[in-house]
Chains A and B, each alone.
Chain A
Amino acid sequence: MTIANSISEEQVWDWLEGVPDPEIPVISVVDLGVIRAVSVDSDAVEIKITPTYSGCPAMSIISLDIQAALAKVGVTNLTLKTQISPPWTTDWLSEKGKAQLKEYGIAPPQPSGGPESCPHCESRHVEKVSQFGSTPCKALWRCSDCLEPFDYFKCI
């Protein structure tokens, strides 16, 4: 498939909306807030990506997934740049992304530093099991009512 030589930035953002986070596939890399800028110069596309955590192993997969997704729609002149400043914050998660996390069973980040409620049964009786979880961006919590453990997206 070839594309017209005028790609719009909106079009690229739309394509990126279709690239899921490799660890949490319910949200897109755009909703995760790691795409900081998109610029297009005729057929050349440049995307600035910021890591969530400095050592997050998903970042290299995210880059590969973006390259693959854009190659599929015909973008071959692609430059991916890593930008660490300003540092990523959970404030950049979109509202849609937060809702999708909750739907998936991961409590979204809260400014208070802990989950608002159990993502399974909505109970507010929750307790921390560990400050760290299955990925750098999550902590492990448990609901004292339904007794289910759940991931909480750390607020940073």
Chain B
Amino acid sequence: MNHLLEFLLRQGDNALVLGQRMSEWCGHGPALEEDIALANTALDLIGQTQLWLGYAAEVEGAGRDANDLAFMRDAYDFRNLLMLEVPNADFGRTLMRQFLFDAFQVPWLQALTDSADPRVAEIAAKSVKEAMYHLDRSTSTVIALGDGTAESNGFMQRALDYLWPYAAEVFAEDATDFAMAEVGVAPLPSSLRGQWKKTLQATLQEAHLTMPEGEFAHKGGRIGVRHTEHLGHLLATMQVLPRSYPDASW
């Protein structure tokens, strides 16, 4: 197995699948400002996807490009976290997921700026600025809604309870993680778990939300052995145009 390729697909697929989920809100946001914010976040993530998958395609060396990887792979080829592919449901769950992801992604990308692979370090340095902005916003929205009305608090607590069994998948390490740590491309995700949990505790406390107990995490997304039923539907929507008209250009 080409561990670097595997690693890059995980980074790119996380950004792509979450970006696609966020873009589903375009035109449906609860207020115009929120609609714009969700679409902007999606745009940043799709931009980051182009960088990660562009490099992945080069490493693969099979004559494919970032678009081929995004549009011509099937669900079992994807390496994203399961949490990112589950449906948006409501605004509360969308923002809670964004927060749980951003809280990991910011220290993760910060660590990757020191990667032994200069391309990884460059992409991380570019992406981390955007991720910090996302974290700032998802944190303040989680607090505003958690510390809002009884109704909004209920939405956020239910969102957290629903997402919790998915949230820690990123810490389920495998041979690729160990290989990347060995050569200094990336730290072990588990080395950031303490920091992640601290960010969560501080924010959830301020939001009057209760962090669920338990360390159980659904696994399979980032290693590609088991996705939820939702990923296929997401890909069907995302990929239909380039698959139906493979040579289309505009």
Contacts and interface: CB of A to CB of B under 8 A. Distances in A.
A156 B129 CA distance: 7
Interface in B207-235: none
B36 to A, nearest CB: 5
What bracket does the count of chain B residues touching chain A fall in?
Answer: 20 to 34
B33 A130 contact: yes
A133 B133 CA distance: 13
Interface size class of chain A, counting residues whose CB lies under 8 Å from the partner chain? 20 to 34
A134 interface: yes
A136 B133 CA distance: 11
Contacts of A136: 40, 43-44
A105 interface: no
A54 B15 CA distance: 12
Interface in B114-135: 121-123, 125-127, 129-130, 133
B37 A55 contact: no
Contacts of A133: 36, 40
B47 A53 contact: yes
Contacts of A85: 121-122, 125-126
B47 to A, nearest CB: 2
Interface string B13-46: 0000000000000000000011011001101111
B50 interface: yes
A55 B47 contact: yes
B145 interface: no
B248 to A, nearest CB: 17
B37 to A, nearest CB: 4
A140 interface: yes
A84 B43 contact: no
B153 interface: no
B133 A55 contact: no
A87 B129 contact: yes
B133 A130 contact: no
B43 A53 contact: yes
B20 to A, nearest CB: 13
B51 interface: yes
A140 B126 contact: no
Interface of A: 51, 53-57, 84-87, 129-134, 136, 140, 154, 156
Given A51-B126, A55-B43, A156-B133, 5 more contacts: A51-B47, A55-B44, A87-B125, A132-B137, A136-B44
29 contacts: A51-B47, A53-B47, A54-B44, A54-B50, A54-B127, A54-B130, A55-B46, A55-B47, A55-B48, A56-B43, A84-B123, A84-B125, A85-B122, A85-B125, A85-B126, A86-B125, A130-B36, A131-B37, A131-B137, A132-B33, A132-B36, A132-B40, A132-B137, A133-B40, A136-B43, A136-B44, A140-B36, A154-B133, A156-B133
Pick the 9 closest A-B CB pairs, nearest first.
A55-B47, A54-B47, A130-B33, A85-B122, A132-B37, A55-B43, A132-B40, A87-B126, A84-B126
